[in-house]
Amino acid sequence: MTMGVHDGHATFYTYVDTPVGKLMLAGCPDHGLRLIAFQCGKGRVAPEPEWKQSAEPFREAGRQLAAYFRGERTTFDLQLNPAGTPFQLAVWKALEGIPFGETRSYGDVARSIGRPGAARAVGLANGRNPLAIVVPCHRVIGSTGTLVGYGGGLNVKQALLDLESTVLARRPPEGPRRTRARREPK
């Protein structure tokens, strides 16, 4: 992935330790986060020589990731700026719509973007997602319900899905809220 300098803006990067391994975050403070990459497995990415190391531009991303791993956050509110083809961007946008703790098949995602015959292409785009965890490609599984492919390794994919199901299991069931009747003062 080439991210050097864009429109005169340098690319910064930092590393964040998580329960599933070290992640590298990269991007530009003015344009947003462009990369969250595992430092293990097939998704490992090394910083380019012209990138500048600094944790400061990623403080909020680090806080939100830490809250996710503590089970306190189910969505992310970060400025994202992934680079991809129009098809990849459509797939990645669809991934953001998969609710926390749920999974979808590649075919489900293909149908959600109006390309029902493009499950394999969705799989390729999913595998090129540059924003692991925040754009939840780990929530996409095979049509038979099996775990298939993940840049951080299948053990990490399983750990992320387990984390999300554990968080949901701890939450009280949703249902009608009971309200107390208020009496009007006499």
From the list 80, 137, 156, 161, the catalytic residue is: 137
Judged against a pLDDT cut of 60, whether residue 178 lies above it is answered with: no
Instruction: Give me the pLDDT at residue 184, please.
Output: 46
Annotated active-site residue 137? The verdict is: yes
Arithmetic mean of pLDDT, 30-42 = 88
Q: Most confidently modeled of 3-12, 37-46, 142-151?
A: 142-151
pLDDT tens digits, residue range 3-31?
444 456 789 999 999 999 999 999 998 89
Q: How far is Cα of residue 17 from the mean position of the Cα atoms in its chain?
A: 16
Q: Identify the pLDDT of residue 43.
A: 66
| Fold of the domain spanning 86-170 | Arc Repressor Mutant, subunit A (1.10.10)
pLDDT, greater one: 6 or 148: 148
User: The tokens 């299948």 sit on which residue?
Assistant: 154
pLDDT of residue 122: 96
CATH architecture entry for 5-69: 2-Layer Sandwich (3.30)
What are the beta bridge partners of residue 140? 104
Instruction: Check whether 176 has a pLDDT greater than 70.
Output: no
Q: Which of 38-42, 58-62, 67-71, 130-134 has the lowest mean pLDDT?
A: 38-42
Using the predicted structure, report yes or no on whether residue 86 has a pLDDT greater than 70.
yes
The 3-class SS string of the chain reads CCCCEECCEECEEEEEEECCEEEEEEEECCCEEEEEEECCHHHCCCCCCCCEECCHHHHHHHHHHHHHHCCCCCCCCCCECCCCCHHHHHHHHHHHCCCCCCCEEHHHHHHHCCCCCCHHHHHHHHHCCCECCCCCHHHEECCCCCCCCCCCCHHHHHHHHHHHHHHHHHCCCCCCCCCCCCCCCC
Q: What is the pLDDT of residue 7?
A: 54
Which residue in the block uniquely carries the two structure tokens 């080439």? Answer: 2
Within the chain, all domains assigned CATH 1.10.10.10 are found at 86-170
Examine the pLDDT at 164 and tell me if it is beyond 50.
yes
How high is the pLDDT of residue 11? 95
User: For residue 45, what pLDDT is reported?
Assistant: 86
pLDDT at 179 over 50: no
The predicted structure's pLDDT at residue 3: 40
The two structure tokens encoding residue 127: 């595998």
